Amino acid sequence: MSSYNDYVFSSEESSVDDIQQKDGGGNIDSMGEKRPSFFRSLTSLGRSSHEYSSGNVRTSISSSDHINSKEMVDNSKAVIGAGFSHMDRVLPEQIKAKHHHRSHERHHHQAALDDGLGDDNDWNPVIELPTRKVKSLTSTTRSIKSSLTPSVVPQPAYTAASPKTSSVVRDPDYPCIRPDWPELLNDPYGILTKLQPPEHDRIRYGKIVRALTKQPFDMYELKKQTWGGIPQCVRSLVWQILVGYLPVNMNTRGSVLSRKRKEYVKSITQLFQGSKDEAVWHQIKIDVPRTNPGTKLYSYESTHRSLERILYLWAVRHPASGYVQGINDLVTPFFQVFLANYLVKMEDIEIIDPHTLPKDLLNAVEADTYWCLTKVLDTIQDNYIHEQPGIIRQIKELKDLITRDEPVLAQHLEDENLDFIQFAFRWMNCLLMREFDLHLIIRMWDTYLSDFPNGFSTFHVYVCCAYLRRFGPQLVNMEFQDIIMFLQDSSKTRDWTEEDIEMMLSEAYVWQSLYENALAHLK
């Protein structure tokens, strides 16, 4: 009954080439409405990007459109100091001028978007900006600065059913998201030029930014700096680099990102036009609403549609495993971190309704999530194929480690006839996501991703080991069923903080260092 249109971004464009020829002609989005599309914004931004990277003033400056001049001047030092050493030294005056210029151009772009000059194949990015729009943008900026309350989810700017949708869509007033989202979307590195170091996290932030901007880029250095956690404000960017999704080459990253996102949209479009694998689809449909229950973000229809598309595409493209229950959990860290990146207040992420965000933004977040999820799952594919040999191997490794290091605990578990698979299966299948709050998992993933591609397959076992050891003293006094019930109950970690997680990760690291290259110890 629910039309496939719910899942299809566009019923018009049949191929990326087609779209490119049309120069980002209007697409019908999932609401079935005609409006300037994701493609258009990408195309136009892509054009700008190209211009930036080949011009004298580089991306770091160009993407600062929405910072007012004063801020820009203040930031300029940071920008330059942040290691864009290849960049021409830019004086504050130049920045101002450039800023003005870009700002103007952005207004053009925004106006075109806002006016939704519809299905116009002859859409022209250089049109005069209506005065009303300038006001509107200004007021938006002001309102963002002054009065955002964290608990307020903005009124939906458009609704699927409304016939007036297209006129409402043009409203640029999305108070929850950063006004510079289109630039960030196009070049996630832009975030570096816009940030003030977080008050409480200056040192870590500084180290990571230095690693990010070091020329030539050094992945090892970045991994080293991110092992101990990543400040929220740069997490999205860093994660995308660590999994190898976002290129570090500034000349190509814009185009790669744009291509990947288009490819995703195209794949989804094609996927939902054809007949579906009903068994897989059914399983996804019943699991998605059961993902992270209790968190508002995951209760919205819009979130459900996004997760369904991501999971179904992944499943169809990985027929050896298909969709396996638990993979739905693994989508959420990426989805949440990437979405939060565009929010004015990142803390709002748990309550935001994605439906209230610009469709282009959501599409890009969805595509980024899909690709990064794919990168991670590639490293643990054995976990989800027939008979799940990866999980069996990890459980055996865990048991070997415990037997070696905690003989009393291991003996007790054996005496109780307790098989590791009875409690550790879920730890491996869901990467401990059922055991901790998502915000703690996200912290864990900072470290896992800094050890990419081994974090999820190898290091994770040591983390499970550290986790089990923590409860050793309690477990040795319990009987079989109390042990099982204790371990399957996730409320025991409710009071855990990031510090607890970091202790556990550190302990895991110590054990890994001891045994990783000396497996004979386990014999």
Partner 1 sequence: MSDTADDYSYDYEYLFKIVLIGDSSVGKTNLLSRFTRDEFNPDSRATIGVEFATRTLEINGKRIKAQIWDTAGQERYRAITAAYYRGAVGALVVYDISNSDSYESVSRWLKEMKEHADANIVIALVGNKSDLEHLRAVPTEEAKNFAAEHNLLFTEASALNADNVEFTFHQLIKSIYEMVSKRKFDMDGAEGSGNRDLNSKTITLTPAPKDKKVSKNSNCC
Which of 168, 421, 476, 514 lies at the binding interface for partner 1 (CB under 8 A)? 421
Q: How far apart are CA 59 and CA 48, in angstroms?
A: 10
User: By CB under 8 A, which span of 46-54, 349-357, 419-427, 442-450 interacts with partner 1?
Assistant: 419-427
Distance CA 261, CA 240 (A): 13
The nearest distance, CB 472 to partner 1, in angstroms, is: 18
Binding part of the chain for partner 1, among 40-48, 51-59, 166-174, 416-424 by CB under 8 A, reads 416-424
Q: Which is nearer to partner 1, 12 or 437 (CB)?
A: 437
SS (H, E, C) 340-389: HCCECCHHHHHCCCHHHCCHHHHHHHHHHHHHHHHHHHHHCHHHCCCCCH
Instruction: State the nearest-atom distance from the C-beta of 198 to partner 1, in Å.
Output: 33
- Binding of partner 1 by 47 (CB under 8 A): no
- Eight-class DSSP state of 340: H
Binding mask 310-329 toward partner 1 (x if CB under 8 A, else -) reads -----------xx-xxx-x-
Tokens 């698979």, located at residue = 421
Q: How far is the CB of 297 from partner 1 (least distance, A)?
A: 14
If binding is defined by CB under 8 A, does position 347 make contact with partner 1? no
β-sheet bridge partners, residue 35 = 27
State how far the Cα of 87 lies from the Cα of 330, in Å rounded to an integer.
38
**Torsion sign across C-alpha atoms 237, 240, 241, 245:** negative
Cβ 289 to partner 1, closest distance in Å? 9
Which range of residues in 36-44, 136-144, 199-207, 482-490 is near partner 1 by CB under 8 A? 482-490
Shorter beta-carbon distance to partner 1: residue 245 or 314: 314
| Cβ atoms within 10 Å, residue 368 | 27
Distance CA 58, CA 45 (A): 14
Question: Is 200 near partner 1 (CB under 8 A)?
Answer: no
Among 89, 164, 200, 386, binds partner 1 (CB under 8 A): 386
Nearer to partner 1, 218 or 479 (CB): 479
Contact assessment for residue 332 and residue 291, using Cβ atoms and an 8 Å cutoff: yes
Q: Report d(CA 59, CA 501) in Å as an integer.
A: 37
Q: How far is the CB of 283 from partner 1 (least distance, A)?
A: 6
Q: Which is nearer to partner 1, 39 or 335 (CB)?
A: 335
- Residues between 429 and 448 that touch partner 1 (CB under 8 A): 429-430, 434
Asked if residue 440 lies in contact with residue 496, where contact means CB atoms within 8 angstroms, the answer is yes
For partner 1, give the closer residue by CB, 58 or 426. 426
Size, binding site for partner 1 by CB under 8 A = 38
b/e sequence 471-485, b meaning 16+ C-beta within 10 Å = eeeebbebeeeebee
- Verify binding: residue 493, partner 1, rule CB under 8 A: no
* Residue 97, Cβ density class (10 Å: 0-12 exposed, 13-18 middle, ≥19 buried): middle
Torsion of CA 430, 434, 439, 441, to 10 degrees: -40
* Residues of the shown chain interacting with partner 1 in the complex, contacts defined by CB under 8 A: 279, 282-283, 286-287, 290-291, 293-294, 321-322, 324-326, 328, 384, 386-388, 391, 415-419, 421-422, 425-426, 429-430, 434, 479-481, 484-485, 488
